[in-house]
Structure 1
Amino acid sequence: IIGGILGLGIVYLITNMLSAVLPFAIYLSLDNVIWGVVLSVGIGVLSGLIPAYQAARMDPVEA
């Protein structure tokens, strides 16, 4: 959670810095932030559930 918050803060700062330098504006919408968070959580859950499911199906003596 802390990494996600720090990542969002860094993206916000970089977006503001680039908007000041580039001849066009870069806008970070709330929809994009929400999609990014949902996608990150989904990938995190899947990457945890798949190995856990495989480990749960193993024989404890084998593991």
Structure 2
Amino acid sequence: MNSNYNSYLGLSLEQEFKLKLYSQIVDTLNETQKKKLLLEILKCILLNDNILKYLIKYSNFK
């Protein structure tokens, strides 16, 4: 990812560092491991989405 993209997302320096570390780890995985990891990440994103929807639905900030 280029720096403009990271700036747009608002990643902190610490997050950019973690992203670089994970990128190096992913480079060592085979295709099957990468697919499993990708599915786990997608599952986490979907769960996070459900949590955010729940919090918005039941928040007192309406």
- Shorter-chain TM-score range: 0.3 to 0.5
Q: Which has the higher helix share?
A: 2
**What TM-score results when the alignment is normalised by the length of structure 1?**
0.47
**What TM-score results when the alignment is normalised by the length of structure 2?**
0.48
Q: Larger Cα Rg: Structure 1 or Structure 2? A: 1
Higher relative contact order (CA 8 A, sep 6+): 1
